[in-house]
Structure 1
């Protein structure tokens, strides 16, 4: 389907009278039951459609995203507090005698907080996958111009979260593999020539990075449609990755450019929100250990610093939550709209979407 054809053979047809600049025939505009016209999309339609979706469907999008962030933050704080309580004795001893830290105390602290960090990372991946799934599920109704009740979006997103999580893990593995190769190759080169020519060994690192980093970016863009395919097609992680690779083929640069624009918009929003708060809130003064007459415990240090950092922590937390909400919702919407655009261009999805928008009930998936 070409850009000039507008809607397609199965859509509404028939010219209308009154072309701009004089009398003449012009093709009718493509149907637009929801947030985007059912025709091949430009960058303005994709980015604009993401903003319109956030405005019209703020409740399911940001409500579910905020619930995920809040649950993740509460869990992380609970885990950190439990870790602190379980290692309070070791932390007090380490703070009282920082120059003679016992290895047993340090090992206990590292194990406990390392376990908390690993659990937090796993829960964060699940929460991020759930929010991505909810964004795609909301967009499913937004494109068709349907209501998106929070409960229905929640159930649909939760049912597809395992698949999106699998896609996230596979994408992380595929993208991280070139970086692992980089470090392995650099380590081998360093071990081989470092003793004879260390400057040559270190000069090889940028050359290897120039080969590996573009490969990682290429792989990320190639599989960027996989989360949308996992939700909107009900595909398994491997099938979603294959679908993304097929849809991106021949449109890599366009996909990369629009995703880059989405990332730049997210960065600008982050700066606009964070910079005024950084200028308005002064940095807390560091705690001076030398001023204490006797060794201070961790609890005493926290009690001393808490009044100074309280206001800064509140404002920075609000800013971080706002930026995270925007990024968690906006980027998946952009990639999902790109996915829909490629299916409209290559598979005639516009006809399916038009029939679905006119149906009495929303279908379970757009296939």
Structure 2
């Protein structure tokens, strides 16, 4: 291995890992992953959030159309109010899942240029992410169903919440095990089921480490969103949800890259 001389105290040290972009190209520590997510947001945040808002416009138009149709139904049918609720609530839930999947697909599309220090545009990000949104959406939905499905089914059949409480550790374990599935679906062009299997392989042996990074990333996003909303008023109210969607996905993307570099050292981000 090539070595170099250091003037601080003298001695031979191995060369530093190359860092063309937001992270060094080597296995990362938790601080480097969280710091890299913030650095990525600082360098590419405007383009990332711009792409997210552009992508959400189509979803908002569809939701508005559904809301309009439900409103017309409520005016023309006896049970119209029920039709309005039963139509609008699932449509809103699907839109929120779509926005979540869109943010993940965009963060995944940003991984390569961010890690390699390459420029990118909002439209370029959206074009790169768009083909992978269905697979990312499917992986996100399957991961959510695997983690929350058993408890939701138990509550649906009438079991009391206390009876469902023992399922909470299982839900947490599955949620962390499949935490990298949406990123894998976007980065490796995998289908939803294959992405879940890929996440399980990458997280195996690092479950606690994955939990210890994803939770602080979510807390960091909450703090940043609250600060932005407090400081910028109406504009902050528009930016805060975008931060809540994108910052944890950037952290998950860099954690995914770390797991690749650790388990498959020959992998290259490009």
Same fold (TM over 0.5): yes
1:237 aligns with 2:180: no
Alignment root-mean-square deviation, CA: 2.5
Supply the distance in 1 between the matched residues of 2:45 and 2:238 (Cα, whole angstroms): 15
Judging changes above 3 Å, is the alpha-carbon distance between structure 1 residues 73 and 321 closer, same or farther for their aligned structure 2 residues?
farther
Residue number among 252, 261, 265 corresponding to 1:335 in the alignment: 252
Are positions 1:126 and 2:98 aligned together?
A: yes
Paired position in structure 2 for 1:51: 38
In 2, the alpha carbon distance for the partners of 1:186 and 1:345 equals 45
Give TM-score, length-normalised by structure 1: 0.67
What is the SS of the residue equivalent to 1:57? helix
2:94 and 2:217 map into 1 onto residues whose CA distance is 26
User: Which of 123, 127, 139 lines up with 1:151 in the alignment?
Assistant: 123
1:186 Cα shift? Answer: 7.1
The equivalent residue for 1:218 is: 173
In the alignment of these two chains, the number of paired residues is 270
Q: Is residue 2:49 matched to residue 1:62?
A: yes
The structure with the larger Rg is: 1
In structure 1, the partner of 2:147 is: 175
Q: Identify unmatched segments of 5+ residues in structure 2.
A: none
SS in 2 for 1:87: helix
Structure 1: any 5+ residue segments left out of the alignment?
A: 1-12, 90-103, 191-204, 278-314, 357-367
CA drift of 1:123 comes to 3.3
Tell whether 2:222 aligns with 1:267: yes
**2:241 aligned residue:** 324
Structure 2 residue matching 1:35: 3-state secondary structure: coil
1:269 and 1:152 mapped to 2: Cα distance?
A: 26
Please tell me whether the aligned partners of residues 53 and 139 of structure 1 are also in contact (alpha carbons under 8 angstroms): no
CA distance in structure 2 between the partners assigned to 1:253 and 1:185 by the alignment: 33
* Higher relative contact order, chain-length normalized (CA < 8 Å, sep 6+): 1
Query: Could you tell me which residue of structure 2 aligns to residue 142 of structure 1?
Result: 114
Matched, 1:14 2:11: no
